[in-house]
Amino acid sequence: MGGEKEHMSEKRVISRNVAIALGTICVILSVSLFGAISQITSLHNQVTELTAIVKLTKLEIWVDHQTVSQPAGSYTSWTFRASYAGYIVVGVESSTTSNTYIQVSYHSYTVDYYNKLQADTKRYAAFSVLPGTIEIRVGNTNLSTGATETVSIAYWY
């Protein structure tokens, strides 16, 4: 009978040890599952972000309705960094002259890009861009008087 109590006591110790081991395994598996779910969520967010970039639906406003004044024959210049291929939209929302121009230039992957467009008193122009540093100029070709323009610049990528 004494052996039976010892045997029961050993079973309880083994059962307790098994329960502790199973509990520990469950905790480890739960932490691992939480880590995996966090990583899946992070990867899903990255895929969503990259998909938006591929579809050119990401937008940065570089200049928002800024009014600039220039002397005759002068321009205002902005320089920005494009991280991805995309396009920029330059809007001359108002101008005191019909001699306004928009010029975009940059250098990327051994390509020199330069484009200059004559703008009306209200004009929007889109320019495709590659990653790199981009200079945007809005100016006037007036020979004797200056000009004032209101400009917006948006970068879609």
**3-state DSSP assignment of residue 39:** helix
d(CA 77, CA 99): 17
d(CA 44, CA 50): 10
Q: What is the per-residue pLDDT across 113-134, written as a single tens digit (0 to 9) for each?
A: 999 998 866 689 999 999 999 9
The superfamily (CATH) of domain 59-156 is: Galactose-binding domain-like (2.60.120.260)
Q: Supply the Cα-derived Rg of the chain in whole angstroms.
A: 33
Conformation bin of residue 71: beta by default, left when phi > 0, alpha when psi is -120 to 50: beta
Domain ranges of the chain: 1-55, 59-156
Give the tokens for residue 65.
Answer: 């309705």
Work out the mean pLDDT of the chain and round it to a whole number: 91
- Name residues whose C-beta falls within 8 Å of residue 147's C-beta, 6 or more positions apart in sequence: 69, 70, 95, 96, 97, 99, 100, 140
Backbone angles phi, psi at 50, to 5 degrees: -70, -35
Angle at 68 between CA 105 and CA 117, to 5 degrees: 35
Q: What is the per-residue pLDDT across 14-38, written as a single tens digit (0 to 9) for each?
A: 788 888 999 999 999 989 998 899 9
Q: What is the per-residue pLDDT across 68-90, written as a single tens digit (0 to 9) for each?
A: 999 999 999 999 999 999 999 99
Per-residue pLDDT at 64 exceeds 70: yes
SS (H, E, C) 92-122: EEEECCCCEEEEEEEEECCEEEEEEEEECCC
d(CA 90, CA 119): 10
